[in-house]
Amino acid sequence: MKAEVYVEKRDDGIAFLVMNKPQKKNAINGSMMDLLSNFLLELNEDDSVRVIILKGEGENFSAGGDLSQGGPGGSTVDQSRKLLKRYIRTIHTIQQIGKPVIAMVDGWAAGGAMSMALACDIIFVSERAKFTSNFLKVGIIPEMGAMMFMPQLMGPYRAKELWFTGRVVGAEEAYKMGFANRILPAEQLEEGTLAFAKEVAAVSAMSIQITKSITNSTMGPMLDLVMEAESTASPFCTQTAEFKEIAAKFIKK
């Protein structure tokens, strides 16, 4: 049986990094995020790999954070902060490694999974992709760099609209907002993403590394500050009666 995160390396310089909990729509937890960070660092040091494709097993990218991992309100502020720091490490790693990371999004990319997709360099989506930054609906605040990525992409007013309502954004709207590079039929998503990844793999690896580094440096210090603030504020929300009630209902489902 494959682990909750696994790597498939191909002969053409492309590696799939796969979140593998399809029975839970690839909901993310601390151990999954640790594995993602570690695999990303390993792949970045592997000279045979030129492009990384991040995807979810099955028909969803990821349903976001697994609220059942700590129980409804069963963690202290300090424990919640330590857990969130593990999530943030993955965002930092995606942003800082030299290899390009392509998010291949089919189905749901919710909450932290949407943040993780936005941290990637390129996003390819299927026509049935659905994004939601629904943190407020589960009683916390936007996390994992969402409060940096989304206002930069779509402006603060549109970002706040999506946060305050938890509204779902489909593939077409994601494309119009500028964070989906391509929309493909679900049955062609992997083939189309691979074709693009092969184009990227043929480009100078050093040129890509430097270009990515300089481009991401424009948000680097501010992203650090935003994620530090998120990791301080959001854990306090997990202690509220509202969060405990929402988490309990979620677990019952």
Per-residue confidence band for 72, with pLDDT thresholds at 50, 70 and 90? very low
β-pairing, 14-19 with 51-56? parallel
pLDDT digits (tens, 9 = 90+) for 81-97: 999 999 999 999 999 99
pLDDT at 209: 97
pLDDT at 251: 65
Q: Are 250 and 67 in contact (CB under 8 A)?
A: yes
Q: Write out the H or E segment, with its range, that includes residue 162.
A: helix 156-165
76 or 69, higher pLDDT: 76
Distance CA(25)–CA(51), nearest Å, equals 25
pLDDT at 73: 45
User: Dihedral angle at the C-alpha atoms of 33, 16, 128, 202, nearest 10 degrees?
Assistant: 130
79 or 200, higher pLDDT: 200
Domains along the chain with CATH numbers? 5-187 (3.90.226.10)
pLDDT at 249: 76
Question: How much of the chain exceeds pLDDT 70, in percent?
Answer: 95
Under 8 Å CB-to-CB from 175, ≥6 apart: which residues?
A: 125, 182, 183
Question: How much of the chain exceeds pLDDT 90, in percent?
Answer: 81
Q: How far is CA 150 from the centre of its chain?
A: 13
Does the pTM surpass 0.85? The reply is yes
Q: What is the chain's mean pLDDT, rounded?
A: 93
Closest to 93 in 3D by CA, of 223, 197, 182: 223
pLDDT digits (tens, 9 = 90+) for 110-152: 999 999 999 999 999 999 999 999 999 988 999 999 999 999 9
β-pairing, 101-105 with 122-126? parallel
β-pairing, 169-170 with 130-132? antiparallel
pLDDT at 71: 44
pLDDT digits (tens, 9 = 90+) for 203-216: 999 999 999 999 99
The radius of gyration of the chain from alpha carbons, rounded to an integer in Å, stands at 17
Residue 42 has pLDDT above 50, yes or no: yes
Q: Are 238 and 88 in contact (CB under 8 A)?
A: no
pLDDT digits (tens, 9 = 90+) for 151-160: 999 999 999 9
